[in-house]
Structure 1
């Protein structure tokens, strides 16, 4: 049920994790303002909800963001850009989010990731941040901005660090082709290695964790949690499970490292993927003991159910487009 006191401003609500968080809020009858660049796309995704307000605009519009932030108790910072556009854009939009939150001392929800740490086997909330890539350095900078703003009393921040995420409306080219392949009896792709354990989080589970954290009494100005999701024995085994639930025969495709190095000669995006290759060549695990202590009743969606829900979402998209 709704809290009667929260007003959420969601940025990046038509993206992967933002979509799941918006759905969680709406299902709990929370008041949600969704800033979108394409109102028509958002209406298709969400339909009509009595507690949903759509505002068309860009998160890079600092004045608009401050106007919306003045009415918000929580701001979900789910803005993301293609790898090649991170430089400058991500820092600038994060500063706009901070300024918007400062209007009402709102809490910023930030979906963190593991880029900050470079190659490390296990990550806790106190692990040293030693990025080995440009993307990791940018993520460290964003978190420094948020931490500094919280220390200055401008806002509160909850940083929920996530592994690779998957689920309905997760359309990045690492995840979506797996489900499309299972539904169309085509190969399910992956990068570098599909034979080692890999950590994944189902986006509705991450959204539920964010929402449960919102309902806690105020704690530190800046608080960081890891959410481990689930470790699959290998991507290949996970893909086999997806294919079985989809009713198809599993077919696999692994893109080798040399391919990204070669394509990187002509494509900036491929160079970025090559730089991040350690993420797919190694098993890196988040430890979420702190979150489990804080939210002892938090539950994961059973894998079989989560896969079925994601396949159903992709089927619906295919039927809509056909």
Structure 2
């Protein structure tokens, strides 16, 4: 495992390195490179391009398949469920960045330089998962307090379990026929923010969940002094309308079923 901090779970070899500076020296003999990198929101435009180039260079030098953890930003605002065959039509800066990183990797694949695929999920649930829900809603409702976040709290939204992301990354890396395209992580039926909060409170044995919409103007004001909040503003379209991921393809191709939302929440509460 290569990280800037040198951290990681027990039982793996941990290496301290900045991927932007090059990865080739660390991947000799590797069969697969799993990219789960996540630069700070405020640094996407400066850090993702060199990181993406370094990953392609490492895959080309080593011959390892490059399987990247992606997201749904590149699709832009979509009417209806998001499928892997939709075009990349990003409507945000961060969506444009991720779409270009994937386009560059795919071009290298099609040119025969590397072998690659991308695995995309929605907002994460599970141990260590970070999302607007996990930051501004979950801690409040399990404490019996009122949670709040911007957006339409009753709009259906897909939630992906982090463990299912890992299983899909491995399945894709192991199946040569799956390379050269994107895959969606098997994900349960969507739940609105209010429904998810209600279920979390029930599982925690807390009082009935209370969630209020946070006015968008407050997020914009927070963005004047908080870089993370500022970068979140352009992504609010995801919370103002149905945001649904169709993961049928991966379920059919790999026989993977999504972990239940209840189990994902229990892991977060545990």
Q: Distance in 1 between matches of 2:216 and 2:111?
A: 44
Gap regions ≥5 residues in structure 1:
1-33, 313-322
Q: Are 2:101 and 1:142 equivalent residues in the alignment?
A: yes
The 3 A distance-change label for structure 1 pair 209 and 221 is closer
Q: Are 2:261 and 1:294 equivalent residues in the alignment?
A: no
The 3 A distance-change label for structure 1 pair 228 and 197 is farther
Which has a greater percent of strand? 1
The 3 A distance-change label for structure 1 pair 287 and 304 is closer
Q: Are 2:5 and 1:38 equivalent residues in the alignment?
A: yes
Tell me what 2:221 maps to: 262
CA RMSD of aligned residues (A): 2.0
Tell me what 1:113 maps to: 71
Q: How does 1:130-279 map to 2 (within 5 A)?
A: 130-216=89-175, 218-219=176-177, 221-249=179-207, 250-279=209-238
Q: Identify which of structures 1 and 2 has the higher relative contact order when contacts are C-alpha pairs closer than 8 Å and 6+ apart.
A: 2
Does the Cα contact within 8 Å between 2:125 and 2:264 map onto a contact in 1? Answer: no
The 3 A distance-change label for structure 1 pair 140 and 279 is same
Q: CA deviation at 1:89?
A: 0.5
Q: TM-score, normalised by structure 2?
A: 0.91
Q: Distance in 2 between matches of 1:231 and 1:82?
A: 29
The 3 A distance-change label for structure 1 pair 300 and 228 is closer
Does the Cα contact within 8 Å between 1:163 and 1:228 map onto a contact in 2? Answer: no
Does the Cα contact within 8 Å between 1:113 and 1:163 map onto a contact in 2? Answer: yes
Q: Distance in 1 between matches of 2:219 and 2:135?
A: 19
Q: Distance in 1 between matches of 2:182 and 2:33?
A: 16
Does the Cα contact within 8 Å between 1:179 and 1:311 map onto a contact in 2? Answer: no
Q: Distance in 2 between matches of 1:164 and 1:143?
A: 19
